[in-house]
Amino acid sequence: MGFQFAETMAGTVEWDKEPGVQHPFSFEVTAEAASTRAHLRDGKAALHGTVHAPPLARAADADGTITIRPVGRRIIRYELQFTGDDGSLYELVGQKDIRWRDLTRSFTHLAAEILDGEHRRIGACRTTFNLKRDWWSFLRSFRSL
């Protein structure tokens, strides 16, 4: 038995080639772990969704992993690969560092980087999970598999 849930994070991206210029950025993903037992061992689940990172990727299909270890390692780590509108491969890598004294912020804010195919940083993202707007749909998205 496994689980599934959906999450949306939105904010801005600042491309390294355009310092100081912020563009809208978001991603919607569904996390899925086919086995709760395997997930408890390594904390990993598959991610599938869409990345919106204009002008690099207007609506790119994305696949990757999420590592959910809020107690032992105190992290939630995202690694999403996608193809930009230019046909090149990119990766979003970010991590929520869980702080027990600031739970709301640490579970809802994600700083991430976008890397090119050679793992060079090309942009920095700041995203949030909108509690007011998305909390209920997030809770309803949880499913047993």
Which CATH number characterizes residue 22's domain?
2.40.128.120
Where in the sequence is the domain holding 84, given as residue range(s)? Answer: 3-139
Lowest mean pLDDT segment, chosen from 38-52, 58-72, 111-125: 38-52
The region that residue 136 occupies, defined by phi over 0 for left and psi between -120 and 50 for alpha, beta otherwise, is alpha
Domain annotation covers residue 38: yes
Res 70: pLDDT: 83
* Burial status of residue 144 (CB atoms within 10 A of its CB: 0-12, 13-18, 19 or more): exposed
Domain annotation covers residue 144: no
* Contact yes or no for 63/48 (Cβ under 8 A): yes
Domain annotation covers residue 113: yes
CA separation for the pair 19, 9 (Å, rounded): 22
Is the model's pLDDT at 101 over the cut of 80?
yes
The region that residue 74 occupies, defined by phi over 0 for left and psi between -120 and 50 for alpha, beta otherwise, is left
Whether pTM exceeds 0.85? yes
Domain annotation covers residue 100: yes
* Contact yes or no for 9/25 (Cβ under 8 A): no
Type of residue numbered 52:
H
Number of domain units in the chain: 1
Res 38: pLDDT: 60
Is the model's pLDDT at 41 over the cut of 80?
no
Domain annotation covers residue 47: yes
Domain annotation covers residue 85: yes
**Which residues, 6+ apart, have CB-to-CB distance to 68 below 8 Å?**
31, 39, 43, 44, 45, 76
